[in-house]
Amino acid sequence: MLLELKGISKKFGGVAALRAGNLTVQGGEVHLVMGENGAGKSTLMKIAAGMYRPDGGEILWRGERIGFARPADAAAAGIAMVHQESLLAPHLSVAENIFLGAPPLRGGGLVDRQRMREEAGRLIASHNFPLQADWRVDRLSPAGKQLVEICRAIQRGSSLIIFDEPTSSLSESETREVFGIVRKLRERGTGVIYITHRLAELRELGDRVTILRDGETVHTGLLAETPANRIIQYMVGREVSAIYEREPVEPGAELLRVEGLSCSPGLKDASFSIRAGEIVGIGGLMGAGRTELCRALFGLDAPEAGRVWLGGREVKIRSPREAVAAGLALIPEDRQRTGLATALPVGHNITMAHLGEVSRMGLLKLEQEREICEGFIAKLRIKCESPKQRAGRLSGGNQQKVALAKWLLKQARVFLFDEPTRGIDVGAKVEVFETMDALARAGAGVLMVSSELPELTQVPDRILVMRQGRIAGELPGRSSQEEIMKLAALERKAEA
């Protein structure tokens, strides 16, 4: 046995990312690791590669207990990781990146550039990779960058290589290229861990599969003996605690209509509509194009094709300002980066998008502003000392309410919620759903992007499932988690 991970646990700021991660890998095996977004796959792999230190559990390497203090320790032992987002130095050459951290030296500690170039060239040639040693890395395609990371792993003589969702950013031909490399590595007796959440990739590649759910390993077995349906069941789990039950309302007139919206590279030919009073869910795996859809609608990216109607009138939205003016509101996924100015007071954040409502001729009516903010703080039960408290000091759930309050000052017609419950506790989640429901009841349309299958099955009236930039299908509200997962993960041919 090459690597054994036993009962690994890891917390980030009080939140358990891993509770009981178990995994064993042999040489000459391709071991798939699967799980929903946030199941703990990447955390477990980063622990194996020495990037995080586990809080509990043990790691055995070739049968011996071992602890990695930093990535270099794992690399020295023979574990390499090919990252989803390339961790290369973009301004250096392919050869320099392959030998990054351990370049060949000559006398006096100087780097032997010529030997480095030659060895890199030989390595690339022996695998027939479409690369050249002196190319600059930032000019390479995503697949090319991964090839460089793979070269680095091979060059170091790694006996275990971890691929973290390598194909999520790759084209079909590039994906086949990566698969070919994985097979070659297996033939040479290298152990391969391959994280994926695309089922179609499975059969072609894996020997065994380990499935994680909520930070725990729930199943390990031979891939040939685990049918796709069973894998989906393991991934989504059985227990569906009732988070929120929504009484659907009779939908009114069509508020938002989108036809053929495309925005390369992430969004292809999206068409759908939302009616007043509706909550429409958008499901899909990471990188399926959900955030891209929100961004294109809100004028943050310029779509190259497609038409959008708001309240029956065709609109051209080229900037967030025009989106706001047209009656759209976006509550983005990343509150710290895009949703809030965390260093500014709560009150300033609440009125930020509609300052015109509390000012006359450019002059702010501070007294009125304070009253309005206090009103929202009470109405949405935002826990804060006063409107003057810095937004960054609130809890995640309260921050989300502030990000939402921003759009209530002058009510928008269509609300785009991107992962509205990310990083907030259960109580706050319910409050967010209640607010969404209230908005819909007041006649707004709500689009809710979510990676949380339980809430997708319970909150929306309809669910659109995206896959690889396209809307792969529509499901009625209260569809099962399996149905959503199948649409999200299976290729068309596998569905048939």
Partner 1 sequence: MIQRLLPFLTLAALFIGLALASPHFLTSTNLSSVIRQTAVINIMALGMTMIIICGGIDLSVGCILAMGGLLGSMAMGAGLPIAVGVVAGIFTGLACGFLNGLMTTALRINPFIVTLGTLGIYRGTALMISNGLPVHNLPPAFSFLGEGTLLGVPFVLWILLVCAVLVHVLLEHTKLGRYAFAIGSNAEAALYAGIPVAFFTTAVYTIGGALTGLAGMIEASRLMTGQPTAGQGYELQAIAAVVIGGGSLRGGEGSVVGTLVGAFIMGLLSNGSDLLGISPYLQQAIIGAVIILAVAVDELRKRKLG
Give the largest Cα separation in the chain, rounded. Answer: 79
| Residues of span 142-181 touching partner 1 by CB under 8 A | none
Q: Write out the two tokens for 230.
A: 């069973």
b/e per residue 155-184 (b: at least 16 CB within 10 A): ebebbbbbbbbbbbbbeeebbebbbebbee
Q: Indicate the helix (H) or strand (E) that contains 287.
A: none
Shortest Cβ 403–partner 1 spacing (Å): 9
Q: Is the Cβ of residue 238 or residue 337 nearer to partner 1 in the bound state?
A: 337
In single-letter form, the type of residue at position 379 comes to K
CB of 349 to partner 1, least distance (A): 8
User: What is the nearest approach in angstroms of partner 1 to the Cβ of residue 363?
Assistant: 6
Least distance from C-beta 43 to partner 1, angstroms?
Answer: 25
Question: Are 223 and 255 spatial neighbours (Cβ–Cβ below 8 Å)?
Answer: no
Asked if 43 and 36 touch (Cβ cutoff 8 Å), the reply is no
CB of 469 to partner 1, least distance (A): 22
Question: Peptide bond preceding 460: is omega within 30 degrees of 0, i.e. cis?
Answer: no
Nearer to partner 1, 141 or 338 (CB): 338
Count CB-CB contacts under 10 A for residue 334. Answer: 13
Selected range binding partner 1 among 69-77, 88-96, 147-155, 351-359, rule: CB under 8 A = 351-359
Please, which residue, 1 or 344, has the CB nearer to partner 1? 344
As given in the structure block, the two tokens for residue 494 are: 């596998």
Q: Which of 224, 305, 355, 426 binds partner 1 (CB under 8 A)?
A: 355
The answer to whether residues 27 and 191 touch, using CB atoms and an 8 Å cutoff, is yes
- Phi, psi torsion values for 118, nearest 5 degrees: -65, -45
CB of 296 vs partner 1, minimal distance in Å: 14
Q: Are strands 208-213 and 30-34 parallel, antiparallel or unpaired?
A: parallel
Query: In this complex, which beta carbon is closest to partner 1, that of residue 114 or of residue 319?
Result: 319
Nearest to 265 by CA among 142, 86, 163, 85: 142
**Whether the Cβ atoms of residue 447 and residue 417 lie closer than 8 Å to each other:** yes
Which range touches partner 1 (CB under 8 A), out of 161-169, 190-198, 350-358, 472-480?
Answer: 350-358
Q: For partner 1, which is the closer residue by CB, 19 or 348?
A: 348
Q: Which of 150, 300, 346, 463 is in the footprint of partner 1 by CB under 8 A?
A: 300
The residue among 348 and 462 lying less far from partner 1, judged by its C-beta, is 348
Residue number with CB closer to partner 1 (345 or 443) = 345
Where does residue 61 rank: exposed (0-12), middle (13-18), buried (19+ CB within 10 A)?
A: buried
CB 376 within 8 A of CB 408: yes
Phi first, then psi: what are they for 243, rounded to 5°?
-80, -45
Give the span between the Cα atoms of 263 and 303, in whole angstroms.
4
Taking residues 306 to 345 in sequence order and writing x for each that binds partner 1 by CB under 8 A, - otherwise, the string is -------------xxx-xxx----x-x----xxxxxxxx-
Residues in the interface with partner 1 (CB under 8 A) total: 32
Among the listed ranges 60-68, 118-126, 140-148, 348-356, the one in contact with partner 1 (CB under 8 A) is 348-356
CB of residue 463 to partner 1, shortest distance in Å: 25
Q: Which is nearer to partner 1, 239 or 367 (CB)?
A: 367
* Residue 302 CB, nearest approach to partner 1 (Å): 14
| Alpha-helical runs (H) found in 49-85 | 71-77
Query: Closest by alpha carbon to 168, among 190, 212, 201, 217?
Result: 201
**Minimum distance of partner 1 from residue 338's CB (angstroms):** 5
- One symbol per residue from 358 to 397: x for binding partner 1 (CB under 8 A), - otherwise; what is it? -x--xxx-x-----------------------x--x----
Task: Please count the CA atoms within 13 angstroms of the CA of 56 that sit on its side-chain side.
Answer: 10
**Residue 323 C-beta: closest distance to partner 1, Å:** 7
Q: Let me know if 483 is exposed, middle or buried by CB neighbors in 10 A (0-12, 13-18, 19+).
A: middle
Beta-carbon contacts of 25 under 8 Å, excluding residues fewer than 6 positions away, are: 1, 2, 3, 31, 160, 191, 192, 193
Residue among 145, 156, 348, 462 that touches partner 1 (CB under 8 A): 348
Strands 216-222 and 208-213: antiparallel
Which position among 401, 406, 429, 462 is part of the footprint of partner 1 (CB under 8 A)? Answer: 406
- Least distance from C-beta 341 to partner 1, angstroms? 4
Site string for partner 1, 182-221 (x = CB under 8 A): ----------------------------------------
Give the nearer residue to partner 1 in terms of CB position, either 174 or 333.
333
The residues that touch partner 1, with contacts defined as CB under 8 A, are: 298, 300, 319-321, 323-325, 330, 332, 337-344, 348, 351-353, 355-356, 359, 362-364, 366, 390, 393, 406
